[in-house]
Amino acid sequence: MRLEDLGFNALLENYRIENNLTDFEIGRVIAEHKERYTVKTVKGELEAEITGNMRFSALSREDFPAVGDWVALTVYDPDFSIIHHILPRSSVIKRQAIGQPGEIQIIATNIDCAFIVQAADRDFNLNRLERYLTICNESKVKPVIIISKTDLLDEIGLNEILEIINARIKNVPVIAISNTTGKGYDQVREFMENGKTFCLLGSSGVGKSTLLNNLSGKHLMRTDTISHSTKKGKHVTSHRELIILESGGILIDNPGMKEVGITDSTGGLEKTFDLISRLSKDCRFKDCTHTSEAGCSVINAVNNGELDKAVYENYLKMEKEMEHFMSTAAERRKKEKVFGKIIKNYKKDMKKNDQ
């Protein structure tokens, strides 16, 4: 295996040389288990941990390695390596961490293209599609929408879904697939360029791992049937994992997500809701919130039917969520800083007492 097969490129190579990382082994994080990482290198798969320094100087989750990262490490033996550096990320897909207000969770890094998977039978939801588009657009990851399980629907039902998507979401490719019949697989494969990294996003039970297994021709990820009593997915995939397909392309499977909270995604919202961004240039006030202001061209567009009310409402909801996230994150950082100072003073006092 060459590093290029894993997605290594000239930009990363230049960085490696310019930053004197030539004495380190270079590899890509393919799995994470509670701050232990599996890193794929030309020497094989290595188990690695981070340096103490990296852990203590980390300000947020973004300072820790994530699946998809390129790292520089020292190899002691195959079961023990130390990660010293994370090479610059070309993209980061992230969401709000569950149960930790103001904190982010990295879904994957260095992604070229995201497959946003929704099942045709009962998972399909436009608001949620726009949410996934926002987190992809924020990081300039090319989104592709995949509608799975089309075998459970007749032609008319499927066309209805595709029309609904086309009416609301422009300029994003949509592929209808069935993991059972293989429908749409040729179109998916067309996107999968050699050396490029793709990731699978979507709710639990929509068929992400089944798609990955079928594309690889191997049973790499466990898949399972959905609980019929609750009609809910069982979260079969429990951790992120990066896989290289023999046919070319690198694919990251993710556990199904229930919530996709927006973080600091100004650019992502602008791109996803580009009609709103264009309209807002004509609002009377520069800082118009498009909620109640006079001379708001966004509200005008909703009133005259140019802008879909559902799109407008989804935009406002995510915009509000983003503002809330950013103020909570700022508050969190402030508290952590104060806490850091308390610890520092405490340690100083301890030293004084020792003398």
Ligand X SMILES: Nc1nc2c(ncn2[C@@H]2O[C@H](COP(=O)(O)OP(=O)(O)OP(=O)(O)O)[C@@H](O)[C@H]2O)c(=O)[nH]1
Query: Which parts of this chain interact with Mg ion (CB under 5 A)?
Result: 208-209, 236-237
What is the DSSP track for 223-271? Answer: --PPBTTTTB------S-EEEE-TTS-EEEE----S-----S-HHHHHH
DSSP letter at 6 equals: G
Residue with smaller CB distance to ligand X, 136 or 322: 136
Total site size for Zn ion, rule CB under 5 A: 5
Which of ligand X, Mg ion, Zn ion, none does residue 178 bind to, with CB < 5 to 8 Å depending on kind?
A: ligand X
In this chain, which stretch among 85-93, 97-105, 207-215, 313-321 interacts with ligand X, using CB under 6 A?
Answer: 207-215
* Residue 255 in the binding site for ligand X (CB under 6 A): yes
* Residue 229 in the binding site for ligand X (CB under 6 A): no
Rounding to the nearest 10 degrees, give the CA dihedral for residues 79, 223, 252, 107.
Answer: -90
Closest among 97, 84, 68, 211 to 149, alpha carbons compared = 211
Name residue 176's beta-bridge partners.
147
Spatial neighbors of 184 by CB under 8 A, at least 6 apart, are 146, 150, 175, 176, 177, 178
Residue with smaller CB distance to Zn ion, 251 or 296: 296
Spatial neighbors of 77 by CB under 8 A, at least 6 apart, are none
Q: Which of 54, 75, 82, 152 binds ligand X (CB under 6 A)?
A: 152
Q: Which of 95, 149, 271, 290 binds ligand X (CB under 6 A)?
A: 149
Q: At what angle do helices 309-354 and 126-138 cross, to 10 degrees?
A: 50
* Residue 172 in the binding site for ligand X (CB under 6 A): no
Spatial neighbors of 171 by CB under 8 A, at least 6 apart, are none
* Residue 224 in the binding site for ligand X (CB under 6 A): yes
- The footprint of Zn ion on residues 260-319 (CB under 5 A) is 283, 288, 290, 296, 298
- In the complex, minimum distance from the CB of residue 160 to ligand X, in angstroms, rounded to a whole number: 18
- The footprint of ligand X on residues 279-338 (CB under 6 A) is none
Total site size for ligand X, rule CB under 6 A: 24
Q: Is 210 strand, coil or helix?
A: helix
CA separation, residue 310 to residues 58, 119, 258, 316, 331 (Å): 40, 21, 21, 10, 32
Residue with smaller CB distance to Mg ion, 147 or 251: 251
Q: Which of 148, 265, 272, 297 binds ligand X (CB under 6 A)?
A: 148
Which of Mg ion, ligand X, Zn ion, none does residue 152 bind to, with CB < 5 to 8 Å depending on kind?
A: ligand X
Q: Which of 97, 169, 172, 226 binds ligand X (CB under 6 A)?
A: 226
Residue with smaller CB distance to ligand X, 29 or 177: 177
- In the complex, minimum distance from the CB of residue 132 to ligand X, in angstroms, rounded to a whole number: 14
- In the complex, minimum distance from the CB of residue 168 to ligand X, in angstroms, rounded to a whole number: 23
Q: Which of 178, 197, 265, 314 binds ligand X (CB under 6 A)?
A: 178
Q: Phi/psi class of residue 195: alpha, beta or left (left: φ > 0; alpha: ψ in -120 to 50)?
A: left
Strand ranges in 103-184 using DSSP code E only, listed in sequence order: 104-109, 113-119, 142-148, 174-176
> 135: which 2 tokens?
């987190």
Q: How many angstroms separate the CA atoms of 269 and 343, rounded? A: 39
Residue with smaller CB distance to Zn ion, 59 or 294: 294
Spatial neighbors of 260 by CB under 8 A, at least 6 apart, are 95, 128, 131, 132, 135
- In the complex, minimum distance from the CB of residue 177 to ligand X, in angstroms, rounded to a whole number: 7
* Residue 94 in the binding site for ligand X (CB under 6 A): no
- In the complex, minimum distance from the CB of residue 244 to ligand X, in angstroms, rounded to a whole number: 19
The residues binding Zn ion (CB under 5 A) are 283, 288, 290, 296, 298
The residues binding ligand X (CB under 6 A) are 148-149, 151-152, 178-180, 204-210, 223-226, 233, 235-237, 255-256
